[in-house]
Amino acid sequence: MDDLVRQRYPRLIRAVQRGNRLSEPEAVNALVEYGIFGITDDTVSEATAPLGGPLAAIRQGFRNRHRLSTQR
């Protein structure tokens, strides 16, 4: 599942990673957790817990994606 997410959403992974100061595997894990489990409190990893869970990390990535794409 990780490889599928890496191939399908590379820019979103970078945005989640940079916007939340996560490592690349942690950003992928947030997307995988959200894709498999949806919005639950049971599956929150240690990396995304301080951010409010995987959905909050993904939302922050979406907010920052435009700003990050112009900083190349």
Residues 36-66: pLDDT tens digits?
766 665 667 788 888 888 888 888 888 877 7
Domain count, the chain: 1
The domain of 37 spans: 2-69
Q: Residue 58, class by beta-carbon neighbours within 10 Å (0-12 exposed, 13-18 middle, 19+ buried)?
A: buried
What's the pLDDT at 71? 60
Count other C-beta atoms under 10 Å from residue 26's C-beta. Answer: 17
C-alpha–C-alpha distance, residues 18 and 24, integer Å: 9
* Nearest of 25, 28, 21 to residue 5 by alpha carbon: 28
Between 35 and 6, where is the model more confident? 6
Q: How confident is the model at residue 23 (pLDDT cuts 50, 70, 90)?
A: very high
